[in-house]
């Protein structure tokens, strides 16, 4: 696939969530040959209706299945959750043409990325792992990425012409994903620490003192603003973050260490995702700060305790 052919390039996205939607819109705006997308949530009628509207606006073709999406693609981008990485690689490998580039931007462990590379390459595809090194919003397609694997150098100029900010980080599989997930232990761990610390501080009414102390110790960070950003991202993407941290835990374990922090971070992220799925944050505004979100958890916990108390009282009275 020569760089000169970019204007006629056909790109397929497997995964049309936040990341897939952002990349799809940017690619279609670049006037390439075509952009198609498929997401397993297409079976959900409510999700599909919203996705079709977004796809039509962005000039992305929403496909009914993975095979249709990737059948004519020169480049396939896998942008699914960490837990779906292997299934996505299998689906792509079963339908892609020989020599198709497969760019895997998922937050999966080096072990997982290496296994996906084997699946794709046995089918004749050219697998390139990518480590996304910052939040996709607000960078969009320009979010910094490290590329890894023997086909990374061949794909890098094509991606650069499409608007990606990509650097070849390694010629072996697993290296750039190790960089990404070691970083995630720190960044996602900070999210978890901030949530646990400030949720507790809010309960005791000492959040002002805690934030002032943090600002004195780490004066270069706007703790109030950063805390609200951390909280909002976890509330919105807790499940995806929990899956990523499970992969980080695998990465730590494969290196011979016990993933104490990675596992604990995954648990907290999963807890927030469970609360979100239960509707605890329903109706919250996008601009809500961490206090509003923490108070929703506090109200939910109080209501649960009150319900448990009533149930216990009924049980005792009935006895």
60 vs 302, residue with greater confidence: 60
pLDDT at residue 319, as a whole number: 41
Cα separation, 79 vs 172, in Å, equals: 21
Q: Most distant CA pair in the chain: distance in Å?
A: 81
Q: Is residue 119 over pLDDT 80? A: yes
The answer to whether 259 touches 252, Cβ cutoff 8 Å, is: yes
pLDDT at residue 67, as a whole number: 96
The answer to whether 33 touches 10, Cβ cutoff 8 Å, is: yes
The answer to whether 155 touches 74, Cβ cutoff 8 Å, is: no
Categorize the per-residue pLDDT at 318 as very low, low, confident or very high, splitting at 50, 70 and 90: very low
DSSP string, 209-254: HHHHHHHHHSTTS-HHHHHHHHHHHHHHHHHHHHHHHHHHHHHHHH
pLDDT at residue 284, as a whole number: 94
Categorize the per-residue pLDDT at 308 as very low, low, confident or very high, splitting at 50, 70 and 90: low
Domains recognised in the chain with CATH numbers? 8-173 (3.40.50.720), 181-299 (1.10.1040.10)
Categorize the per-residue pLDDT at 312 as very low, low, confident or very high, splitting at 50, 70 and 90: low
- The predicted-structure confidence for 128-145, as pLDDT tens digits, reads as follows 999 999 999 989 999 999
pLDDT at residue 238, as a whole number: 96
Collapsing DSSP to helix, strand or coil, 153 comes out as helix
At 270, list the tokens.
């999963």
The answer to whether 249 touches 188, Cβ cutoff 8 Å, is: no
pLDDT at residue 129, as a whole number: 98
Compute the average pLDDT of residues 191-202: 97
Count CB-CB contacts under 10 A for residue 296. Answer: 20
At 296, list the tokens.
């929703």
pTM score, whole prediction:
0.89
Collapsing DSSP to helix, strand or coil, 199 comes out as helix
Q: Is residue 280 over pLDDT 80? A: yes
Categorize the per-residue pLDDT at 85 as very low, low, confident or very high, splitting at 50, 70 and 90: very high
Categorize the per-residue pLDDT at 7 as very low, low, confident or very high, splitting at 50, 70 and 90: confident
Mean pLDDT (the chain, rounded): 94
Cα separation, 53 vs 283, in Å, equals: 22
- The predicted-structure confidence for 66-81, as pLDDT tens digits, reads as follows 999 999 999 999 999 9
């Amino acid at each position: 696939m020569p760089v000169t052919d970019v204007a006629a390039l056909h790109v397929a996205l497997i995964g049309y969530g936040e990341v897939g939607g952002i990349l799809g819109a940017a690619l279609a705006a670049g006037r390439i040959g075509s952009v198609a997308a498929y997401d397993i949530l297409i079976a959900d009628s409510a999700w599909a209706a919203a996705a079709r509207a977004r796809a039509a606006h962005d000039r992305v073709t929403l496909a009914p299945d993975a095979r249709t999406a990737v059948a004519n693609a020169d480049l396939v981008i896998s942008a699914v959750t960490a837990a779906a990485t292997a299934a996505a690689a299998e689906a792509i490998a079963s339908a892609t043409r020989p020599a198709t580039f497969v760019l895997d931007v998922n937050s999966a462990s080096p072990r997982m990325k290496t296994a996906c590379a084997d699946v794709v390459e046995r089918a004749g595809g050219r697998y390139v792992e990518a480590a996304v090194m910052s939040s996709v919003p607000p960078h969009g397609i320009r979010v910094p990425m490290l590329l890894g694997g023997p086909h990374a150098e061949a794909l890098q100029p094509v991606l650069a012409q499409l608007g990606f900010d990509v650097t070849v980080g390694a010629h072996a599989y697993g290296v750039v994903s190790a960089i990404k997930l070691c970083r995630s232990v720190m960044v996602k761990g900070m999210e978890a620490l901030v949530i646990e610390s400030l949720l507790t501080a809010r309960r005791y009414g000492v959040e002002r003192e805690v934030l002032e102390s943090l600002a004195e110790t780490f004066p270069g960070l706007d703790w109030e603003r950063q805390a609200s950003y951390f909280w909002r991202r976890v509330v919105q993407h807790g499940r995806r973050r929990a899956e990523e941290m499970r992969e980080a835990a695998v990465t730590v374990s494969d290196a011979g260490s016990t993933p104490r922090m990675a596992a604990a971070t995954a648990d907290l992220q999963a807890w927030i995702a469970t609360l979100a799925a239960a509707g605890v944050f329903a109706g919250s505004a996008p601009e809500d700060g961490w206090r509003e979100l923490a108070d929703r958890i506090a109200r939910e916990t109080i209501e649960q305790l009150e319900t448990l108390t009533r149930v216990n009282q009924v049980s005792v009275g009935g006895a």
